[in-house]
Amino acid sequence: MMKNDFNLNKNEKEIFEFILDSIPDAITVIDTSYKTIFFNKVSESYFDVKKDDIIGKDLRHFFPNSLLPKVIDQEKSYFNIYNRPRENTFTVISAIPLYNKDGKLIGGLARDRDITEFVKLSEVLSKTQTSLEDLEKEYKSVIQGENFFSGIISNNSEFIKTINLCRNISKTPMPIWLNGESGTGKELFVRAIHHESKRTGKLVALNCAAIPEELFESELFGYEEGAFTGAKKGGKLGKFEEANRGTLFFDEIGDMPLKSQPKILRALEDGYITRIGSNREIPIDVRIISATHKNIEDAVKKGEFRKDLYYRLNSFHVHIMPLRDRKQDILILANRFLQQFCMENGINIIEIPDKVLKMFMNHHWDGNVRELRNIMQRVVLLAKESKSDRVMPEYLPDYLQNLDNITESRLMDEVPHTGLEQSIEAIEKELIQNALTKHKYNKKHTAEYLKIPRSSLYYKMEKHGL
């Protein structure tokens, strides 16, 4: 491949390899089928991979998140991207496509430059803060990629199915109904769906719980000048008009005033709205996404939410799993937030000890991903203040420190036989069974003891056959 595509004879190839081996950066070259055709000596040291093991092999088998395949697929260059190839090693990577003299794409080249000492030395960090902020922006752009869904990460198979379903449905005009506990990331899904929809208008959010009932319709439909006492001069656009040709997000839709619901339904059915104080019909083209943590079906049965509006908006229903039901994601999310906040604060990537990770795994995360994110922000700030290179248990909130931890020996006995996910399920079942027995199957007291909502207790009892 080297000779045919790069037009190098044996002597030229030896000179080529000698030059690249002399460069104090890690150099990797692949062809258009992602096979590694060059891997210099510095690369062997950086990545702890032998040249003989990787040459001729698909680079993705060794580095699944490498930039080079993306460079080949998109024929796009990347410069100065923050990278952490292995523990306690930090680099800046640049990657470019390679062409022959006829302009034909023949491969890609990546250069990793070691910045480990720069990251670790605080005095150098202070001098290069601006550069690190630029690297952070580049890093985030690579993490997010070309669509926002890549920012939603998971190792849970069911949650991954949810992500893929939302990605597929995002390009349709169908209304989407997101249901899930507070903090599960419903807003992140909304932004991803809107971005992927390619709609030309804006994403406009309306928190139905935050708007007083008497102002709800003026906020949604807008009003003309002089429509009522206190109306702004020149009138005001409503959320429907702001979101025209875009997406209107009804957050906490379970708190939408009942008396406003018929007008919203009519606007969606007719495709136009009328401002308060006006007779002029204004055409609208709006995609609706709704989100709530409430059981709206119960509200419909009680007459607290209109059945026709519910079915109009519930064309595609998505349940966002709580974090405690996808515990394998706790560690990857904790590390993602750790990297983010360390970069933002200009400090070295600190370590999360096993003891702290165990505390995370034992916690029920009633606040879900938002709670985990807030905790990681807290520990990074405390680590920075203490000049510590790791997360100490005392950096965590008191309620996390007071957890009854599962012993390490128990975990080590369970995991090798059944795998991590199955072991967590078994331990969770045993904890719930013990709590139920202790409280004589009083669901209220058991839920309070476990620090989970009673609805979650019922769900887990059914799941585990208790």
Average pLDDT over residues 381-401: 87
- Give the pLDDT score at 408: 45
Structure confidence at residue 420 (pLDDT): 62
Burial of 273 (0-12, 13-18, 19+ CB in 10 A): buried
Structure tokens at 103: 């302009």
Q: CB atoms < 10 A from the CB of 245, how many?
A: 12
Structural element, H or E, at residue 398: helix 398-401
Phi and psi at residue 236, to the nearest 5°: -150, 140
* pLDDT (mean) for 442-457: 82
Pairwise pLDDT comparison (225 vs 141), residue with the higher score: 225
CA distances 22 to 19, 41, 142, 218, Å, are 5, 8, 29, 69
The residue type found at 61 is H
Confidence at residue 305, expressed as pLDDT on a 0 to 100 scale? 94
Mean pLDDT of 28-56: 89
Query: Which region, left, alpha or beta, applies to residue 145 given φ > 0 means left and ψ of -120 to 50 means alpha?
Result: left
Mean pLDDT value across residues 104-121: 80
Give the pLDDT confidence score for residue 145 in this predicted structure.
40
* Token pair in block for residue 274: 């009328």
The sheet with strand 316-319 has its strands ordered as 203-207, 247-251, 287-292, 176-179, 316-319
- 402: CB partners within 8 A, 6+ apart: none
Distances 27 to 6, 17, 196 between C-alpha atoms, Å: 16, 10, 35
pLDDT at 42 over 90: no
Q: What is the pLDDT of residues 94-106, one digit of tens each?
A: 899 998 888 899 9
Q: Is 168 helix (H, G, I), strand (E, B) or coil?
A: helix
25, pLDDT greater than 60: yes
pLDDT in tens, 297-324: 999 999 999 999 999 999 999 999 999 9
Count the neighbouring beta carbons within 10 Å of the beta carbon of residue 291: 25
